[in-house]
């Protein structure tokens, strides 16, 4: 005989789905007066999160969505460590320094075998760009002050295809952003035009290794040659920063002979996102400087109230250690060979997807073969439906595929973009292609069906009206009805836009 205790009974009665907590609204604007059991709080939140999209089907994002279980364990074991407390967590600090040196050597920084590279772990490339930009601004200001020249109107030259974090830097730190406009068919910064826009107030030219829009690498080598010539003619020393957020863990493994990094003398700093093709969960980035002279000492703070003297150059103070540890895990786990294999697999799946999209006969491929593993493509004919409608219809299969217009002066071009990450397998590529084909069939068929029904209703009404004496009605063709419906439909869909990540 089983004896049921009062405690057992209470636990049964109070299990989450038999409790009051699933009958009352979840607090949204005010902290609740009373506590709730931990299992109820977990279940309520977990149930709401089920309505989020599946991260692995989010093809808008470059950010890593899968890591090995062993690395997940390391992340959870260190999630309560505050990285900034270097005296308390010296091993974590050492692992960060190792990562900085590994990346600096990968980018051919002029660092000896026994020397320490100059760099820092950041919260993604956004913070890394802010720090690099501040270093350029301060060096330019100091030089102008020493020469007795005005130093209140700094500017940065970039392409109009830069990520929004560059606009943030310019606005937050009062630097003019001079953008090289794009043209249809050429969606990256033109080095010739960029060099022409440089003036005595330019603190740096920012080149992108892996454009967010198309994945294309900008020609940093040509930019270096053009600026070297201009600097010699003018007496300026305009440097280059390379935003390698997406391509910094692609180019060294796929295109080792491509010169874009510290092999070029004017490249003074590089940022890269560890949480993109560095294969670490969000958010970790890295800022690497060519030499100590390229990072002004006055920007580095020294604190001692956490223990020993600790130099720091970050925008935020507290920061988790997990992503730093995860980055080091990936470096020693995969090594050069492993990263090369991963990105080669990504590029092969990119090729398969591109060919599948081309076979539909409906799209033009906008992205290039050399660059970040992604496929950006536009409709050859947008008269019947748009890329925004395709994006919307793909969501019913679970896919998040962004649709967006290009920046000025190419905003008339609208594209879809699929990012291929490590966990996007060949079978998923084939499934996506089949779903794109299904969506195309639906979008091509639906307006005709709606128009035919509308024409049938219209004809019925016409017939009824004409049966009344003296009433005449002008009939519309099926084609005219279809055009009207399509026009209404497109106006509705055009009001919706999917952002670029």
Query: Token pair of 364, please?
Result: 């033009």
**Cα separation, 352 vs 346, whole angstroms:** 10
Residue 473 — φ and ψ, nearest 5°? -140, 130
CATH of domain 74-333: 3.40.640.10
- Tell me the three state secondary structure of residue 127: helix
Q: CATH 4.10.280.50: which residues of the chain?
A: 1-52
Q: CATH 3.90.1150.160: which residues of the chain?
A: 346-445
Would you mind telling me the total number of residues written for the chain in this entry?
501
> Strand runs (DSSP E) across 350-400, as ranges?
363-365, 374-379
What number of CA atoms fall less than 13 Å from residue 194's CA on the CB side? 30
Helix 322-359 and helix 426-466: axis angle, to 10°? 50
CATH of domain 1-52: 4.10.280.50
CA torsion through residues 369, 209, 152, 149, sign? negative
- What does the pLDDT look like over 252-267, one tens digit per residue? 999 999 999 999 999 9
Mean per-residue pLDDT pooled into runs of 10, the chain (501 residues): 46 68 84 89 90 92 96 95 82 93 97 89 94 97 96 97 94 97 93 98 98 96 98 97 98 98 98 97 95 92 61 82 96 98 98 97 95 97 93 95 92 95 96 97 76 59 57 53 60 49 46
pLDDT at 317: 78
Nearest of 56, 109, 61, 69 to residue 333 by alpha carbon: 69
Query: Are 349 and 369 within 8 A, CB to CB?
Result: no
User: How many degrees, rounded to 5, is the angle at CA 361 between CA 356 and CA 364?
Assistant: 85
**Paired strand residues for 243:** 208, 271
pTM: 0.86
CATH architecture under which domain 346-445 falls? Alpha-Beta Complex (3.90)
- Tell me the three state secondary structure of residue 125: helix
pLDDT at 454: 56
pLDDT at 296: 93
DSSP label of 397: G
What number of CA atoms fall less than 13 Å from residue 144's CA on the CB side? 17
In DSSP notation, 55-76 reads GGGBTT--S-----HHHHHHHH
> Strand runs (DSSP E) across 191-273, as ranges?
202-208, 240-243, 267-273
Ranges of H-type helices in 109-237: 124-146, 164-172, 191-197, 220-234
Q: CATH 3.40.640.10: which residues of the chain?
A: 74-333
pLDDT at 496: 45
- What does the pLDDT look like over 124-140, one tens digit per residue? 999 999 999 999 999 99
What are the C-alpha distances in Å from 241 to residues 136, 162, 173, 339, 443?
Answer: 9, 13, 17, 24, 44
Max CA distance (Å), the chain: 101
pLDDT at 101: 96
pLDDT at 1: 47
């Amino acid at each position: 005989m089983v004896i049921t205790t009062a405690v057992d009974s209470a636990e049964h009665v109070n299990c989450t789905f038999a409790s009051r907590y699933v009958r009352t609204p979840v607090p949204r604007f005010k902290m609740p007066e009373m506590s709730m059991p931990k299992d109820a709080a977990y279940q309520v939140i977990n149930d709401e999160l089920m309505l989020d999209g599946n991260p692995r089907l989010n093809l808008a994002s470059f950010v890593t969505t899968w890591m090995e279980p062993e690395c997940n364990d390391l992340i959870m074991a260190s999630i309560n460590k505050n990285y900034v407390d270097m005296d308390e967590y010296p091993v974590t600090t050492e692992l960060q320094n190792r990562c900085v040196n590994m990346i600096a050597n990968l980018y051919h920084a002029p660092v000896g075998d026994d020397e320490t590279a100059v760099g820092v772990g950041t919260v993604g490339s956004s913070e890394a760009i802010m720090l690099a930009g501040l270093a350029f601004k301060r060096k330019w200001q100091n030089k102008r002050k020493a020469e007795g020249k005005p130093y209140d109107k700094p500017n940065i030259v970039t392409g109009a295809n830069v990520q929004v974090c560059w606009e943030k830097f310019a606005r937050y730190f009062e630097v003019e952003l001079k953008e090289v406009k794009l043209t249809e068919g050429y969606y990256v910064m033109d080095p010739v035009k960029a060099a022409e826009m440089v003036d005595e107030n330019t603190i740096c030219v920012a080149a992108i290794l892996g454009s967010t829009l198309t994945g294309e690498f900008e020609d940093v080598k040509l930019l270096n040659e053009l600026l070297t010539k201009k600097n010699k003619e003018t007496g300026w020393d305009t440097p280059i920063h390379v935003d390698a957020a997406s391509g910094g863990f692609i180019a060294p493994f796929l295109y080792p002979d491509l010169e874009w990094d510290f092999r070029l003398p004017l490249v003074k700093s590089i940022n890269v996102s560890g949480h993109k093709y560095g294969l670490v969960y969000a958010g970790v980035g890295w800022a690497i400087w060519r030499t100590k002279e390229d990072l002004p000492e006055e920007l580095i703070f020294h604190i001692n109230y956490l223990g020993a003297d600790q130099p720091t150059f970050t925008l935020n103070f507290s920061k988790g250690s997990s992503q730093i540890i995860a980055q080091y895990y990936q470096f020693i786990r995969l090594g050069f060979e492993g990263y090369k294999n991963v990105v080669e697999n990504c590029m092969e799946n990119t090729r398969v997807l591109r060919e599948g999209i081309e076979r539909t006969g409906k799209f033009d491929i906008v992205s290039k073969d050399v660059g970040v593993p992604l496929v950006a493509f536009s409709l050859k004919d947008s008269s019947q439906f748009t890329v925004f409608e395709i994006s919307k219809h793909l969501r019913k299969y679970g896919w998040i595929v962004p649709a967006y217009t290009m920046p000025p002066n190419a905003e008339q071009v609208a594209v879809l973009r699929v990012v291929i990450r490590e966990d996007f397998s060949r079978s998923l590529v084939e499934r996506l292609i089949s779903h794109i084909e299904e969506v195309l069939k639906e979008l091509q068929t639906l307006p005709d069906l709606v128009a035919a029904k509308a024409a049938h209703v219209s004809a019925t009404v016409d017939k009824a009206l004409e049966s009344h004496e003296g009433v005449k009605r002008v009939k519309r063709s099926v084609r005219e009805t279809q055009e009207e419906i399509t026009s209404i439909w497109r106006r509705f869909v055009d009001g919706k836009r999917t952002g670029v990540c």
